[in-house]
């Protein structure tokens, strides 16, 4: 990459990583861009959803919502399923209006949404589905990558993800026309001197893509390491006091997160404070529920998400986490329960 002196603008590493990802994920078209938030924003344009009414989840990282608001979508929240923490298709159905143009569900923690039910709702109402699959790389359902579901799927290759390019992201598309629109939108809307439409500078640089080419080969090892740590937590934590989100049968999980659900926020805060005192920093993914954010125009009620968001904590999880550290974390949690 350095020898070619081609450091950005669809260089050899970006092109190579795109075709490797298409093969790895077994998807028709994969376009890389600077991060997952921009993948969502460009995805909204490619899908024709920018500026339209869209139904989404209140239980996600805030980028899902901010991408929609930045693209001037009118955001309707549906509630989540108590067990999987993904969008509840029955709630989605109830919140569709004559103006709804699309759905933006999130495969939360790399768990899979009820893709069949959501696609039935979309089919009955003429909606497009853009999945926020930011956390789903490496998860498979019935042998198929989660990124291969929906009309479009946006993913993140942020450094915290199971496969990453430090910063980065991309969009899965099904037809060449969308792939071309994506390429144009991520590069200021022009090819050479031909200016087609307004766009963004959302290109992935060559150093980022080179990082991805190095790490793609290690993605499976990384997932296996995370699985080992997750199984240690499973053995060490009491399931009767700490509920886990239900993974759907048929899912091969990517072990992207280890969320635990406490009975109360008070208990969560006590455990978090004690862990912090011991220099252990679990994250409140995802808190608060997005429908409660102060900058929204109006409050939409999502009781399940509002009850769960204050009670979920994600424990430290990375492939190199040592057995003795996992045991120490679990011991501290058990003492506080």
Ligand X SMILES: Cc1ncc(COP(=O)(O)O)c(C=O)c1O
Number of other CB atoms surrounding residue 294 within 10 Å: 5
In the bound state, the residue with its beta carbon closest to ligand X is 36
Nearer to ligand X, 64 or 333 (CB): 64
Residue the block writes with tokens 């490619």: 46
Which one of 41, 64, 119, 254 is in contact with ligand X (CB under 6 A)?
64
On whether the CB atoms of residues 134 and 63 are closer than 8 A, the answer is yes
Joined tokens for residue 150: 């929906």
- Under the binding rule (CB under 6 A), the answer on residue 132 touching ligand X is yes
Size of the site for ligand X (CB under 6 A): 14
Which one of 11, 36, 150, 225 is in contact with ligand X (CB under 6 A)?
36
Which one of 57, 60, 230, 292 is in contact with ligand X (CB under 6 A)?
60
On whether the CB atoms of residues 314 and 285 are closer than 8 A, the answer is yes
- Under the binding rule (CB under 6 A), the answer on residue 61 touching ligand X is yes
Q: Which of 152, 160, 163, 165 is nearest to 14 (CA)?
A: 165
Which one of 21, 106, 121, 153 is in contact with ligand X (CB under 6 A)?
106
* Whether the bond into 286 is cis, omega within 30 of 0: yes
Cβ of residue 132: shortest distance to ligand X, in angstroms? 5
Nearer to ligand X, 127 or 134 (CB): 134
Query: 93: burial class by Cβ within 10 Å (0-12, 13-18, 19+)?
Result: middle
Nearer to ligand X, 36 or 199 (CB): 36
* Whether the bond into 241 is cis, omega within 30 of 0: no
- Under the binding rule (CB under 6 A), the answer on residue 172 touching ligand X is no
Q: Which 3 state secondary structure label does DSSP give 80?
A: strand
- Under the binding rule (CB under 6 A), the answer on residue 43 touching ligand X is no
Tell me which residues touch ligand X (CB under 6 A). Answer: 35-37, 60-61, 63-64, 106, 132, 134-135, 156, 158, 169
């Amino acid at each position: 990459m350095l020898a070619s002196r081609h450091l950005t603008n669809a260089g050899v590493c970006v092109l190579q990583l795109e075709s490797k990802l298409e093969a790895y994920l077994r998807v028709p078209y994969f376009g890389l861009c600077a991060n997952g938030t921009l993948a969502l924003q460009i995805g909204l344009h490619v899908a024709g959803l920018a500026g339209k009414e869209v139904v989404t989840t209140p239980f996600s990282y805030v980028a899902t919502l901010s991408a929609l608001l930045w693209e001037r979508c009118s955001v309707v929240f549906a509630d989540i399923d108590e067990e999987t923490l993904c969008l509840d298709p029955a709630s989605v159905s109830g919140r569709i209006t004559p103006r709804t143009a699309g759905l933006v569900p999130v495969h939360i923690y790399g768990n899979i949404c009820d893709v069949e039910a959501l696609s039935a709702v979309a089919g009955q109402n003429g909606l497009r589905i853009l999945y926020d699959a930011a956390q789903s790389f490496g998860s498979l359902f019935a042998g198929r990558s989660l990124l291969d579901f929906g009309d479009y799927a946006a993913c993140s290759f942020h450094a915290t993800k199971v496969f990453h390019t430090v910063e980065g992201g991309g969009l899965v598309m099904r037809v060449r026309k969308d792939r071309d629109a994506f390429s144009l939108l991520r590069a200021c809307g022009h090819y050479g001197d031909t200016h087609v439409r307004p766009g963004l500078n959302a290109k992935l640089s060559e150093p980022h893509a080179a990082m991805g080419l190095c790490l793609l080969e290690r993605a499976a090892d990384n997932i296996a390491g995370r699985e080992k740590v997750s199984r240690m937590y499973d053995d060490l934590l009491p399931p009767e006091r700490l509920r886990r989100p239900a993974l759907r049968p048929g899912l091969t999980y990517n072990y992207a997160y280890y969320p635990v659900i406490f009975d109360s926020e008070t208990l969560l805060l006590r455990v978090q404070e004690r862990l912090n005192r011991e220099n252990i920093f679990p994250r409140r993914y995802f808190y608060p529920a997005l429908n409660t954010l102060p900058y929204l125009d109006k409050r939409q009620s999502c009781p399940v998400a509002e009850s769960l968001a204050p009670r979920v904590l994600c424990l430290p999880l990375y492939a190199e986490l040592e057995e003795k550290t996992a045991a120490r974390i679990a011991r501290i949690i058990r003492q506080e329960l």
